[in-house]
Amino acid sequence: MRKLVFGLVMATVACGGGDGPTPPGSQVASIIVSIDVSTVIVGLTEQATAAAFDAEGRALPGTTFEWSSTNTAVASVSNTGLVTGVAPGTAIIRASAGGVTGTRNISVDVDRCETPLVLAPGQVATLSGPNAVSCLVIASVPNESEYVFIPANGTAAPDDIRTYSVQGDVASATANAQSSLNLGEVTGSAGLSALAQRAPLAGHILADGQRIMSVVPRARRTDRTRFRRERESLGAQAAVLTASAIVGDSVNLNVTKANSSNLCTTFAAIRGVVKAIGTHAIIVEDITTPTGGFTAADYTDIAAEFDNLIYPTDVAWFGQPTDIDGDGRIVILFTPEVNKLTPASTDGGFTGGFFWPGDLFLKSDFPTDSPCPATNEREIFYLLAADQAGTFGNVRTTTSVRQASRGTIAHEFQHMINQGVRQFNPAVDSLEVPWLNEAMSHIAEEAVGRAQLGLGDFAELDYAAITANQQDYVAYFVQNLLRYRSWMQRPDTASPISNRAANQLAPRGAGWSLLRYTADQYANNNARQFFRALAAGPTVNVTNFVSKAGAPFDEIDAGWLVTNYTDNLNVAGLDPRYAFRSWDMHDVMAGSNKDVFPLLVKPFPTQEETKSFSGSGNFYRLVRPAGSGQATFRMLSTTGGTVSFNGARLHVVRIR
């Protein structure tokens, strides 16, 4: 038996999530209804579940729900949430408790292996669940036609990796030559070696932030009055970089050894000199920085760019940063300690800079058995120093360091804001997980690039627009596109919701693309409000993501997967949800890849074993001459039976 849904149906999902203790007497504020498949076959059943949350996003276990269906002629539901398909159509399954109702839209359809599917050009169908994906028959059509099949893993849990086989059969000859769009695989990686990668140590640093959140007692972490009092009593050293700071001041700072096993206790104590002071930034240079680097004018420009471009943009998109030292400014330290993180022999990616979560905590926050002397107890970024002779590793010219620092600051500032808006919130139990935290930081790079070019949040960017100024293109755009390309080249080896984004490029590019698509389609024309809500939580991971989007993960993911192929193809009759509003992605990706669109699209029919991370899939293209017979596509286990995971999905698009 098989399951199918035409298009993608919207589900109402209330905000929720959280693992903290449930206070006595908490009231239900929201309910999330879940079901493993989006379509139920007539005569079959699927189990729906519900979860209740209080106003602060904490789970309320033990809640009893009342179940109902808005259309019992299509789907009925038992008092335990068991949904039965009655007749083709759509229905809303509801779970209610404490005067609050959560809903989930579902479809009911016939078996599409026994009843062939007919799609008009521009229509999209999704088969949902192990039985459904095991066999899809496309009906014969009189005219020449073209289809794309995307077998995928719609599981919402990150890094769920499933292996399966795909098989295609047709009743007549097929023409599978590549289209004029030159869809295919780009095997080269030109340009990747030029990236200023923040990936090598990002996962290690983010993990240390989570460790610190678990070490510092919640009562101390969330006590703002105590925090301010103890911060104000830190003494004369704090005053050097507050209201009394002037250019030329000397200051002692710590630089944690970002590649050490304990970032709290392994650090370099350095001496720095204040080089520029802006409204929101204090620029400091490590006194061990080689001569011949940035000039006084360069440092003044860096402070001005932060004040006038990066700071207001990141704040508008993600929220206000903390100001734990009370000076209203963020220290930007250029230090050879960052250069040392990339060995001189390294060819390619390097650490361009970082923000360390420990700096937003006081030494007094930590228990005596887990001290953290490395913290500077202030907002601070650590960046590469210009090193013309390669004294501390590879040669770093002033031009390359300046370019790397622009995107790095925009990226790391989001991390700083993200932690800050959560750190003092009693409803928050943990920092955001790597995939979502990193994806938001890549959105920050794009947002700053848009602001620099004077382009709106939803302005449709093409290749000409983003390359109008080459320095801005390199600083804010090209890295996201190259990361996205590395996912496109092998979508079977990465996913937008993979926490391997902590250290790998492809998941970061896919994550940026998924968030951009979600903002385009689900943010109600207010991308900034959407991302501020994401940054604030208080939940994390996919729960945070779907609650802010207001739709189930498999719906968003299905739309994004299809959009990766269909965006700006001008497919007649295609629903606008299968497109980026803010990017002409075909033009941009082809323009940045020597006129080759890099998405790996394989010919149909085929038979092969492959895999998908949760949130990702594979792409197969079928072109049929006029008068072709039926075509069958199967997604099976590697032994030929049904696949074993409920998140199995098969998306089908008729292009023409």
Please tell me the distance from the alpha carbon of residue 403 to that of residue 470, in angstroms, as a whole number: 11
pLDDT of residue 70: 96
> How far, in Å, are 107, 237, 254, 367, 372 from residue 265 at the CA level?
56, 20, 11, 14, 6
pLDDT of residue 550: 86
What is the side-by-side order of every strand in the sheet holding 267-277?
Answer: 250-256, 267-277, 281-286, 330-334, 380-383, 353-354
Please tell me the distance from the alpha carbon of residue 614 to that of residue 637, in angstroms, as a whole number: 16
pLDDT of residue 223: 79
Query: Helix 398-423 vs helix 199-215: angle between axes, to the nearest 10 degrees?
Result: 30
pLDDT of residue 25: 53
DSSP code of residue 452: H
Instruction: Tell which phi-psi region holds residue 457, choosing left (phi > 0), alpha (psi between -120 and 50) or beta.
Output: alpha
**Which of the residues in the chain have pLDDT under 70?**
1-25, 56-57, 172-200, 233-243, 346-348
Q: Helical H runs in 74-129?
A: none
pLDDT of residue 627: 87
Please tell me the distance from the alpha carbon of residue 324 to that of residue 226, in angstroms, as a whole number: 12
Please tell me the distance from the alpha carbon of residue 554 to that of residue 133, in angstroms, as a whole number: 15
pLDDT of residue 203: 83
> pTM of this prediction?
0.88
Tell me, what amino acid is at 591? G
- Which run of H or of E encompasses 430? none
Please tell me the distance from the alpha carbon of residue 52 to that of residue 5, in angstroms, as a whole number: 27
Give residues with Cβ within 8 angstroms of 3, minimum separation 6: 37, 39, 40, 41, 44, 109, 127, 128, 129, 131, 132
Task: Yes or no: say if 278 and 299 are a contact pair by the CB < 8 Å rule.
Answer: no
Instruction: Pull the structure tokens for residue 296.
Output: 């006084």
Cis-peptide into 605, omega within 30 deg: yes
pLDDT of residue 230: 77
DSSP code of residue 291: S
pLDDT of residue 242: 56
